[in-house]
Structure 1
Amino acid sequence: MKLTVFAATGGIGRRIVDLALDAGHEVTAVARNPRDLPAAVRAVRADLSAADPAALESAVAGADAVLSGLGWRSRSDAGIAVKGTGAIVAAMRTTGVRRVVVVSASPVATVASPGRPSPPKYDPGDGFVVRTVLAPFMKSLLRKPYQDLALMEDVLRDSGLEWTVVRPPRLLNKPVTGRYRVAYGHNVRHGMSIGRADVAHLMLRTVDDPDSVRQTVGVAY
């Protein structure tokens, strides 16, 4: 397949690139600073915090699917998920590319947004400790990043594209295992963590999964 990967040098994006190349896919990698990407990819430089959709059209044109690992690295990235995803969606519409898989976060399941003003108080997959301690703490600590991701999900729901949102819990730096649990429409029951490489593995696997289209997908060990 021809794949375009956004935020291709990030923690999840780079792992998507590596796994996609290992699987024999043709990869276009979009990053703010693409100089460290493998020589086998077609590299495109773009700052998604202020991206012009027209500048992204050449990166997505002809792709079978788009995958995005876009998210916050620091406070200077405020709003990057919704801004960058909006530009990606606009470029996809212009070029006729339909399939997009993005990463979000499991606490976003209960974060309100204009497109989803009354989310559930608790996600069905969250256990007692997550509901009462971890989720409230993390949403307080990372309120702005999670709000950004919730707005990003609104953009996708309104896009008309064949989108999938992958919502992992705490991310780890571990080698890919391919052994993880998946839940459609809610978080994984008692799921506490997942390796970034396994999130990338699931995102690639999800591209061809019709059951995941216009769905949120929880993933965890």
Structure 2
Amino acid sequence: MRLLVLGASGNVGKILMEQGVARGHHITAQTRNPANLPEIVGISVITGSPTDTGFLNKHVTGHDAVILAIGINNIGKTTLFSDSAKAVISAMHAGNVKRLITITGIGAGETKGHGGWLYNRIIFPLFTHNRYADKDLQETLIEHSDLDWTIVRPAPFRRQVHKGPLHIVGDVPKGLQLRSITRAEVAAFILDCIEGERYVRQKPFIGHS
């Protein structure tokens, strides 16, 4: 398959590219700075902004799916996620591409308060609440589109692989806490969703308890 990864130079994006190529897919990798991308055979690099509709219009056509994996490092207010959603939806309509996978995370929608004590009490209120205010808007924009979307909501990222089963939850039950997931697990889950046409128009919350 031909996959367009927006935010390819991010931590999940890099792993996703490596796994995608290993599975035999051709990856088009969007980045603002090509120097931030590893050299991987089978990757075509495009340089531009994920919020630039004109740029996206030139590159979306011909792909089987778009993966929106952008992120930020600052803790201030942002419109990056909602602005990118608007641009991507418009470009996908123009390019007649239907399949969209977006990564939001723990703190979006009804997953707020379900990431374990450290995340819920420290990380979210002090560091990530501003980005999730905009990710909520991003999710709303995508949900109201006519695309074949999947919104993936990972638990807090950890380096160490958890030995327990990976939980994949649709309706988040009261009391559920998903405390960890690796970026490699998220990348593999996204590729599984695309290859198997799974979780279309759903918002799986994934991680380990």
Which category of TM-score, normalised to the shorter sequence, fits these structures? 0.7 to 0.9
Q: Which residue of 2 aligns with 1:147?
A: 133
- Offset at 1:211? 4.6
Distance in 2 between residues matched to 1:140 and 1:220, nearest whole Å:
20
Distance in 2 between residues matched to 1:56 and 1:45, nearest whole Å:
10
Instruction: Evaluate the alpha carbon distance shift between residue 138 and residue 168 of structure 1 in structure 2; reply closer, same or farther with a 3 A threshold.
Output: same
- Offset at 1:110? 3.3
- Offset at 1:77? 8.1
Moved more, 22-31 or 141-150: 141-150
Q: SS of the residue aligned with 1:82? A: helix
Moved more, 32-41 or 159-168: 32-41
Q: Among residues 206, 209, 213, which one is paired with 2:193 in the alignment? A: 206
Q: Which amino acid aligns with 1:180?
A: L
CA contact (8 A) 1:193 1:220 kept: yes
Distance in 2 between residues matched to 1:98 and 1:139, nearest whole Å:
32
- Offset at 1:39? 4.3
Q: Deviations over 1:156-178 (max 9, x none)?
A: 0122111111111211235799x
Instruction: Evaluate the alpha carbon distance shift between residue 161 and residue 134 of structure 1 in structure 2; reply closer, same or farther with a 3 A threshold.
Output: same
- Offset at 1:214? 1.0
Q: Which residue of 2 aligns with 1:91?
A: 91
Q: Which residue of 2 aligns with 1:114?
A: none
Instruction: Evaluate the alpha carbon distance shift between residue 209 and residue 135 of structure 1 in structure 2; reply closer, same or farther with a 3 A threshold.
Output: farther
Q: Which residue of 1 aligns with 2:12?
A: 12
> Identity of paired residues, percent?
24
Q: Which amino acid aligns with 2:148?
A: E
Q: Among residues 138, 145, 149, which one is paired with 1:163 in the alignment? A: 149
Distance in 2 between residues matched to 1:213 and 1:92, nearest whole Å:
16
Instruction: Evaluate the alpha carbon distance shift between residue 76 and residue 58 of structure 1 in structure 2; reply closer, same or farther with a 3 A threshold.
Output: farther
Q: SS of the residue aligned with 1:170? A: coil
Give unpaired runs (5+ residues) of structure 1: 112-121
Distance in 1 between residues matched to 2:150 and 2:5, nearest whole Å:
14
1:173 aligns with 2:159: yes
Give unpaired runs (5+ residues) of structure 2: none
CA contact (8 A) 1:100 1:161 kept: yes
- Offset at 1:75? 4.2
Distance in 2 between residues matched to 1:77 and 1:63, nearest whole Å:
32
- Offset at 1:15? 1.0
Q: Deviations over 1:49-68 (max 9, x none)?
A: xx321211232111111111
Q: SS of the residue aligned with 1:144? A: helix
The aligned runs of 1:1-221 (5 Å cut-off) are: 1-35=1-35, 36-37=37-38, 38-48=40-50, 51-75=51-75, 78-110=78-110, 126=114, 130=117, 134-135=119-120, 137-141=122-126, 142-174=128-160, 180-186=166-172, 189-221=176-208
**What RMSD over aligned residues (CA atoms) do the two structures have, in Å?**
2.7
Q: Deviations over 1:192-214 (max 9, x none)?
A: 01001111111111114445111
Distance in 1 between residues matched to 2:18 and 2:140, nearest whole Å:
29
Instruction: Evaluate the alpha carbon distance shift between residue 210 and residue 186 of structure 1 in structure 2; reply closer, same or farther with a 3 A threshold.
Output: farther
TM-score where L is the length of structure 2? 0.85
Q: Which amino acid aligns with 1:22?
A: A
CA contact (8 A) 2:153 2:204 kept: yes
